[in-house]
Amino acid sequence: MHNDLDAGEEAPSTPEGESVAARVAFLIGGTGLFLAMATDAIAVLGRHTGFALLGSIEVVQACIVLIASSAMVFATLKGAHAAVHILTERLDLAMVARLARLSAVLSALMFLILAGGCLWLVADLWSGAERTELLHIPIVPLRLLQIVALLFIAALFLRTLFRRGTR
């Protein structure tokens, strides 16, 4: 399983817009992490002292959507997506740049398709009152958050493409 140390390089520059985005992603993700922690911890405490926190799983699930969506944005901003470098580190720079552009296009396309699929589902379920079973937490806002995240990631990939293109 993977982890933290940047195997790759840090994003070359962090313009104003991206650092705002990073802060927003950081805040949403951090909120999700600590809210999930608190919910589960209180549920455990409750179980051992005799009060029930029914539906804690649903709260945690909602938090995970916050965590995962913002984490995917954050990882993209920090250039942390896992990739294999054995071949690319042996090629000349022009070739590497071309492959990087191709990779950015493919990545943007893939995230756009995922966002499209999510949008289609939201459209279908818009009037279906999708919500969790016990606490009735509405799910559509969570889906929308993820869609925004996916679209933003696609935009980030496209942006690296243009930035590299003009250079």
Give residues 77-106 in contact with another protein (rule: CB under 8 A): 78, 80-88, 96, 99-100, 102-103, 106
Tell which positions 10-39 bind another protein, by CB under 8 A: 25-26, 29-30, 33, 36-39
Among 14, 15, 19, 124, binds another protein (CB under 8 A): 124
In sequence order, the 6+-apart residues with CB closer than 8 A to the CB of 63 are 32, 33, 35, 36, 39
> Least distance to another protein from the beta carbon of 50, Å?
8
Tokens of 66: 């916050």
Among 15, 19, 54, 141, binds another protein (CB under 8 A): 54
Using CB under 8 A, count the residues that bind another protein. Answer: 84
CA distance 30 to 28: 6
SS3 17: helix
CB-CB contact of 99 with 40 (8 Å) = no
CB nearer another protein, residue 116 or residue 165:
116
CA distance 7 to 135: 41
Taking CB under 8 A as the rule, does residue 76 contact another protein? yes
